[in-house]
């Protein structure tokens, strides 16, 4: 028994040590480019908290005009107040967007297309993480519906506006957990079987497939697509799996092992504005550098199949790209 306890303790020590080492190596990865975004319009989904809020703050400091697309307007307005305590630069515009409703997505896009002359950067950031089984207004499993289908429709309905810019960028925020995904096209909404963790991994793999297929369809355009994994970040995203009490207890340790929202936003910022990426599209990034696609992500057939299915299920009425 004592031997087993010793082995477990050593294994735990090695695991924690490895995590701390990775944390130390990545915590200082900060995008240092001094690029201003004066005159640029940006949309950030889920801009009221976590890495979305951190990204919005960074863009405000760069004097961008940021449309904060959020489901909870009260939280979005609070985020504006928080950002204004740090900087008065940039323009912050709060708009309602509920990615769990295709009608909300359409209403948002109609308003944006009517009011805006161009769109320079679209950050598909908002997401749901390992929630109990539930469905969106349109009958999609919640994680797949919000993380993929909502952003799929949003992006497609804003493409004409994005193409009005001399050069524009779409950043799709995925996760390294996509490698655990395996989309079941016969049970896309998890009606037959549901696992919180698998559904999340599947939705993040869907983000990967979407970014890859979208980049191929836009190759002859002025729009570039970048797929990002921010790393493990300490945000409110894990509210469905970590209770408030546990969160409070582990917060001191979490700062040693997990990135802050500011650190998690750096690769998003890098892919959004770095001029060295002007001629890159359809690639995968982490810690402000290009990374190789995982074997799971390299399924071109599945990517095309998901696009066709998404086009059908969201009722996308748009000319072929």
Helix (H) or strand (E) holding 248: helix 244-257
Ordered domains of the chain (ranges, CATH):
36-89+100-274+286-313 (3.40.50.720)
CA-based angle 261:195:105, to the nearest 5? 60
Q: Would the pLDDT of 179 be above 90?
A: yes
- Residue where the block lists tokens 């071109």: 300
pLDDT in tens, 31-46: 999 999 999 999 999 9
Q: Would the pLDDT of 319 be above 70?
A: no
Q: Would the pLDDT of 28 be above 80?
A: no
- What is the pLDDT, as a whole number, of residue 231? 79
- Identify each DSSP E strand in 142-245 by its residue range: 168-173, 223-228
State percent of the chain over pLDDT 70.
Answer: 82
Half-sphere exposure of 191 (CA within 13 A, CB side): 7
Residue 194 annotated as catalytic: no
What is the pLDDT averaged over residues 224-234?
Answer: 86
Task: Count the residues in the chain.
Answer: 321
Active-site annotation holder among 31, 194, 200, 284? 200
The answer to whether the Cα torsion of 112, 114, 115, 116 is positive or negative is positive
Distance CA 223, CA 70 (A): 24
Are the C-beta atoms of 240 and 196 separated by less than 8 Å? yes
Are the C-beta atoms of 143 and 237 separated by less than 8 Å? no
Q: Would the pLDDT of 197 be above 50?
A: yes
Half-sphere exposure of 89 (CA within 13 A, CB side): 15
pLDDT in tens, 231-268: 776 555 444 445 554 444 445 555 556 788 999 999 99
* Terminal Cα-to-Cα distance of the chain (whole angstroms): 63
């Amino acid at each position: 028994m004592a031997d087993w306890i010793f082995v477990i303790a050593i294994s735990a020590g090695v695991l924690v040590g490895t995590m701390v080492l990775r944390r130390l190596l990545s915590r200082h990865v900060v995008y240092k480019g001094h690029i201003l975004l004066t005159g640029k319009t940006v949309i950030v989904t889920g801009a009221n908290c976590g890495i979305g809020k951190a990204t919005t703050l960074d863009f405000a400091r760069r004097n961008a005009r940021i449309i904060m697309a959020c489901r909870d307007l009260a939280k979005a307005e609070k985020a504006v107040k928080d950002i204004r305590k740090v900087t008065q630069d940039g323009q912050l515009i709060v708009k309602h967007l509920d990615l769990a409703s295709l009608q909300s997505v359409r209403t948002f896009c109609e308003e944006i297309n009517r009011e805006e002359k161009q769109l320079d950067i679209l950050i598909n950031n908002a997401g749901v993480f390992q929630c109990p089984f539930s469905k969106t207004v349109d009958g999609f499993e919640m994680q797949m519906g919000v993380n993929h289908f909502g952003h799929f429709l949003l992006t497609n309905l804003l493409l004409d506006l994005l193409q009005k810019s001399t050069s524009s960028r779409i950043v799709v925020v995925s996760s390294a957990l996509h490698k655990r995904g395996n989309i079941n096209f016969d049970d896309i909404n998890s009606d037959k079987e549901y696992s919180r963790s698998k559904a999340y991994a599947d939705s993040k793999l869907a983000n990967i497939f979407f970014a890859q297929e979208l980049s191929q369809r836009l190759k002859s355009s002025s729009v570039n697509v970048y797929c990002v994994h921010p790393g493990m970040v300490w945000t409110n995203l894990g509210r469905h799996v970590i209770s408030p009490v546990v969160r409070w207890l582990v917060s001191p340790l979490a700062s040693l092992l997990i990135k802050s929202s500011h650190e998690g936003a750096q690769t998003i910022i890098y892919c959004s504005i770095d001029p060295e990426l002007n001629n890159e599209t359809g690639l995968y990034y982490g810690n402000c550098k290009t990374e190789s696609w995982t074997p799971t992500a390299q399924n071109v057939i599945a990517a095309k199949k998901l696009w066709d299915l998404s086009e059908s299920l969201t009722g996308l009425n748009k000319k072929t790209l």
